[in-house]
Chain A
């Protein structure tokens, strides 16, 4: 694994920085004074000295005053300190190997080991080392999933109806992404992942499973209300209805496969909008955000 790491040789480093490597003699000679220079910020010995340290390994791990002054590492330590260093080496080495093993078991498919000791792996990995690298695997997503919403307003709208048309919020996301070199997470991830979260925490009959299900519903409602505010419906919405549209990506023109690209809709029940669904309403005493100035009105 260290095929080239650390340069395979110490020489490579010496090619590099004349300004630094010109100085190893000084660095080594003034050793006792050097530490004053070094901050606690972890910069350690200057790079020039690193080369000296590497060179010093030629003398082997023989503890001695000469080694101690010029190099570092195990060879520069006396026996009691060597024991401490060896202990540290084993502990740190074991921790690193254990960590890699745990991550491996975490990303590997369910197997005999994880079936028996899955909890150990989970305890180690969650929450900060969780990861998922099944990127477009085993198969890439082959459908465009979009979230639509319509609202029931307090008053009749411009067309004389209290219920608005369906608005395709995912298409708005797509339009924001179009032509952008730096798409925002707000457009690319927010609604897309919220819907994943919702689908993943509800059963086939849209019943929430526990806390996550409940949170995901509220999350969808808040995102929807934020988007409706952009449409200008912010403070006047009484109820909302969300539906998903799943449309398969058509077969490639060069393929003889037949895939229906007709969208399949799944409607959720009407939800009555409560103050907690309005993004700026959580902290009532704070000014509503710039993005949805209307949202604040609903409280009043």
Chain B
């Protein structure tokens, strides 16, 4: 358990991406896996503390997403309050996402970040065109193309994003050398 001293970074709950993805599938949420876990599915060995997904913005999908977040006991994860988070007043429903382009949550299965408009993209409809299917458990999940993950990291422009780009390019080149086109 963390000591809670302010000088220490917050301890992320243990991330269980497969369980989260299965739960999103159970609720029929339309989404594309992006970010570090997207890169992992493509074969990156680098670790990450959160799962990033880009969700479709239709009203019906937001309703399904709200149901999934309710089951995950998701809470907003603002800086400084990453440990406990803040539950949305009145619980999750489709209106919770109004005017948001992204939200960081802490859940019973780890940190889950929902994006409606990831950096460098126009959102789900943009990413789904080139997304690939990856079998995870009993479901197929949509994972963003490596080129799109790179595009988003370039647009985000943080040092940690830029540092990942060379690695992703190397991964992409290695996959091409091995003739691996599908995840």
Whether A and B are associated in the same complex: the answer reads: no
Instruction: Name B's A-contacting residues (CB within 8 A).
Output: none
